[in-house]
Chains A and B, each alone.
Chain A
C-alpha cells in the first residue's frame, strides 16, 4: 500500500504549456522528500532533495516546493518541451530510513 500519493497519474500537455503535479506524503516523522525523473529506457534521475518546510528548489525550467506540515510537495514545469516527457516520481523518507515512492505522474508533451 502506497502512502505516498501522486496526482494526476498521467498528463498530456502541449509544448509550451506550464504544468504542475502533486505529491502527498505522511507529515509525521518526516525526514526528506525526493523528486526523480524517469525517462523511458533510462534509469531514474534525481531532480531535487528537500528537507525543510517551505523549501523551494529550481533546476532550469523545473521547480519544486515543500510543505511538511500538511504533507505535500508540488513540482512545476514552465514551458514544457517534448524532452520533458517522462514519469516523475516523488519519494518520502521517514523514520525507519526507508524511501517510500509514489506511483508517479506520467507526463507527455506534444510538439
Chain B
C-alpha cells in the first residue's frame, strides 16, 4: 500500500506570494489533516478534512485554507506569505471515520512533508 505523498518536497517563495501544497492520502483513508512544524513550536494543528468537509480548524489566520477532493486528496493554500510561514508542513491521513471519542483509535500516517522557505 502506497504511503502518504506530499508534493512538492521543497518550495522557496517570496513574501506576499501564495503557495499551494498537495497531499495524497493512503488509499481508503478519508481523513486528512495538516500540521505546521517550526523550530521550538512543535507540531501545530492546521485543519482536518473528512469527505470533502473541514471538520476542525486550528488557531491559524484566514490566510491558511484548505480543501479536499472527492478522491480524498487534499490541498493546502497559504496566501500573502509572511517570513514566519517558513516551516515544514506535514500532512497525515487516517482511517478515522468518526468524531470525538470514535476518532481516537486511529493513528495518523504522515507524509514526508513540504519544506517551505519564505524570503
Shortest CB distance A40–B (Å): 12
Chain A contact residues: helix, strand, loop or mixed: strand
> Does any Cβ of A come within 8 Å of B16's Cβ?
no
Q: How many A-B residue pairs have CB under 8 A?
A: 65
Please count how many residues in chain B sit with their CB below 8 Å of the partner chain's CB atoms: 29
Alpha-carbon distance between A45 and B33 when the two chains are bound, in angstroms: 15
Interface-centre pick from A36, A42, A97 (highest chain B CB count, 10 A): A97
Chain B residues proximal to chain A, CB less than 8 Å: 3-4, 33, 35, 40, 42-45, 48, 55-56, 58, 90, 92, 99-101, 103-113
Binding site for B on A (CB under 8 A): 2, 31-32, 34, 36, 42-46, 49, 51, 89, 91, 93, 95-104
Contacts A44-B108, A95-B100, A101-B44 aside, 10 further interface pairs with beta carbons under 8 A come to A31-B100, A36-B110, A43-B4, A43-B113, A46-B108, A89-B43, A93-B103, A97-B55, A99-B108, A101-B42
